[in-house]
Amino acid sequence: MSTDIVWHNTSVNKKDYRAKNGQHSGVIWLTGLSGSGKSTIANLVNKKLFDAAVHSYILDGDNIRHGLNAGLGFRAADRTENIRRIGEVAKLFADSGAIVLTAFISPYQSDRDHVREILQPDEFLEVHVDCPLAACERRDPKGLYKKARNGDIKEFTGIDSPYEVPESPELILHSNEFSESACANQIINLLKEKRWI
């Protein structure tokens, strides 16, 4: 980074936004295999927050790759850069006083830890959407596992690219055992417990 770049302090800060919004702000980081239910659960949580007049937003893996991260592939270095960028964007949302839900496979523990480290200790909730590979393959909503098994997609997480299970997430959702709505309610309960809402 250039030494000529200086951080510009704004007249309205995170504390001001939180006071105006009447809520805490931070990042709910949903991680898990493709097909585990991350995006669906994040959408359900976001709708519940919206209906409760809580300022929130979703950053979804596929949607982000249509724009901000369109130029990134799926090799390890690209995956790390993908998560680094999302972490920085999520931090901006937290700074604006909003709760941001992220739904990304984010397969590497070190990448998730990096996002945690750039936020304040009370601004990051890692949520592992834990669904066995076999169940994700049965769901296969986008047909990606079939393509990966046929060799049409290389370096697919869970097939020929690793997924590192979170070491100490704030919440584990067993999306193969509970409905997506029940999983969303678990996140809402966590937010209440942490006094984010």
- The pTM (predicted TM-score) of the whole model is 0.93
Among residues 186, 194, 197, 151, the alpha carbon closest in space to that of 30 is found at 186
Buried b (16+ CB within 10 A) or exposed e, 60-91: bbeebbeeebeebebeeeebbbbbeebbebbb
Q: Which fold has domain 24-193?
A: Rossmann fold (3.40.50)
Please give the C-alpha separations between residue 173 and each of 11, 14, 56, 157, 159, in angstroms, as whole numbers: 40, 30, 20, 19, 22
pLDDT in tens, the chain (197 residues): 567 788 788 899 999 999 999 999 999 999 999 999 999 999 999 999 999 999 999 998 778 888 888 889 888 899 999 999 999 999 999 999 999 999 999 999 999 999 999 999 999 999 999 999 999 999 988 899 999 999 999 999 999 999 999 999 999 999 999 999 999 999 999 999 999 99
Binding-site members are 32-39
Give the annotated binding-site residues for ATP.
32-39
Q: Which residues are catalytic?
A: 106
Instruction: Order the strands of the 124-130 sheet from edge to edge.
Output: 56-60, 99-103, 26-31, 124-130, 171-174
Q: Which amino acid is at 3?
A: T
